[in-house]
Amino acid sequence: MKKLYAILLLVGLMVSSLDTLAAPKQPQVIDFTQNTPNIYGDVARTADFRVRLLLPPYNINMPVPAFSQNDLSWKNDLMKTENQTIGNAGCALTSSTMVAAYYGKNTTPKIFNIDMGNYACPLYWTEVAGRGGSGYISGINTLINNPSLNTFFSYAQVAMEQNKPVVLGFVQTNGRTHYVVVKAVYGQGTSLMDYGCIDPNTGTYRNLVDVVGSQPLYKLVIYNR
C-alpha cells in the first residue's frame, strides 16, 4: 500500500512539473511612469510608457523634407507682427513648414510665412491648420508647455508610431527658445540619444541630444493630418 501511495505521489509531482513547463511565460512589465529608466538590453517602450521585455526596439525614420530658416531664398523675409526675419527668429515657423510639407503640402518657409500673415511671429500654433498648413494639417493633436523628459518620451513614441513628426522647443543657453522637428527614433526611445531631428537653423539631420543637451524643454507640439 505504501509503495502504491509513493508511486501515485511521484506521478502527481511529474504532472505538476509538466503543467508548469507548459504554461506560457508572461513578459515582464516594468512600469517607469514616475522615473526615467536607464535600461540596456532587449527591451522596448510601448505607447503607454511601459517597458516590455523581448519586444523589438524602435526603428523609425520619417522622410520629412528639410528646410533651413537661413536659406537665402527667405532668411531676410519679415514675419508679422514682430517684424523679425525668418533667419533670426523663424525656427518655429520653419519647423511647422516641414511638418506641413511632410503631410503633403507644397510649401516653403517663404510661402508658409505669407500664409500665416499676422500669426507668423510669434507663431500661433492653433492657427497653423487654417493658414500655413491649410488642407494638410487638420489641427493640433498635442500642445504641452514645459514638458518633462518623461512626457516627451511618452508622447514622442506614440507620435512616431503614428508617423507624426514632433515639433520640440527648448531653452538655449542664451535664454532664447529654439525649435526642431523630431522625425526618427531608434532603440528604446527612453533617451534623447534615441531620437533624430532636423534642426531648422541649418536644415540638417542631427541627433537630438546633440541639439538639446541638458537644456530644459519648452514646448511639445504634434499636428494632426
Answer yes or no: are the C-beta atoms of 202 and 70 closer than 8 Å: yes
- In this structure, is the dihedral angle defined by the CA atoms of residues 106, 110, 114 and 115, taken in order, positive or negative? positive
Instruction: Tell me the C-alpha distance between 17 and 11, whole Å.
Output: 10
pLDDT at 17: 47
Tens of pLDDT along 128-162? 999 999 999 999 999 999 999 999 999 999 999 99
Give 27-70 pLDDT, tens digit per residue.
333 333 333 333 333 333 444 444 434 567 999 999 999 999 99
Please tell me whether residue 112 adopts helix, strand or coil conformation.
helix
When the pLDDT of each residue in the chain is averaged and rounded to a whole number, the result is: 84
Pair type for strands 195-199 and 204-207: antiparallel
CA distances 66 to 30, 100, 156, Å, are 37, 11, 19
Secondary element (H or E) of residue 41: none
175 Cβ neighbours under 8 A, 6+ residues apart? none
Q: What residue segments make up the domains of the chain, in order of their start?
A: 2-53, 58-224
CB 33 within 8 A of CB 45: no
pTM more than 0.85 = no
Give the Cα separation of 98 and 133 in Å (integer).
10
Please calculate the CA angle 76-81-87 and round it to the nearest 5 degrees: 25
Query: What grid cell was written down for 110?
Result: 517663404
Q: Which three cell numbers stand for residue 184?
A: 526618427
What's the half-sphere exposure (Cβ side, CA atoms, 13 Å) at 216?
A: 8
Whether residue 104 contacts residue 176, with contact meaning beta carbons closer than 8 Å, is answered with no
CATH number given to 58-224: 3.90.70
pLDDT tens string 178-204: 999 999 999 999 999 999 999 999 999
